[in-house]
Amino acid sequence: MTVRIAPTHELGAARLRSVRGMLDTAFEGDFSDDDWEHTLGGVHAWIEDERGIVAHGAVVLRRPLHRGRSHRVGYVEGVAVREDLRRQGLGGAVMAALERVIDGTYDFAALSASDEGAALYRARGWRVWDGRVEALAPEGIVHLAEDEGSVFLRSAAGRALPDPAAPLVFDWRDGDVM
Using DSSP's 3-state secondary structure scheme, residue 55 falls into strand
* Mean pLDDT within 51-71: 96
- What pLDDT is attached to residue 129? 97
pLDDT tens profile 132-158: 999 999 999 999 999 999 999 999 988
Using DSSP's 3-state secondary structure scheme, residue 93 falls into helix
Task: Inform me whether the pLDDT recorded for 70 exceeds 90.
Answer: yes
CATH class entry, domain 4-171: alpha beta
- What pLDDT is attached to residue 158? 83
pLDDT tens profile 76-115: 999 999 999 899 999 999 999 999 999 999 999 999 998 8
**Please, what sign has the CA dihedral across residues 104, 106, 108, 112?**
negative
> Are the C-beta atoms of 83 and 28 separated by less than 8 Å?
no
Query: Do the strands 73-81 and 52-62 form a parallel or antiparallel pair, or are they unpaired?
Result: antiparallel
The residues near 162 (Cβ < 8 Å, ≥ 6 apart) are: 66, 67, 71, 108, 131, 153, 168
Cα 86 from Cα 83, distance rounded (Å)? 5
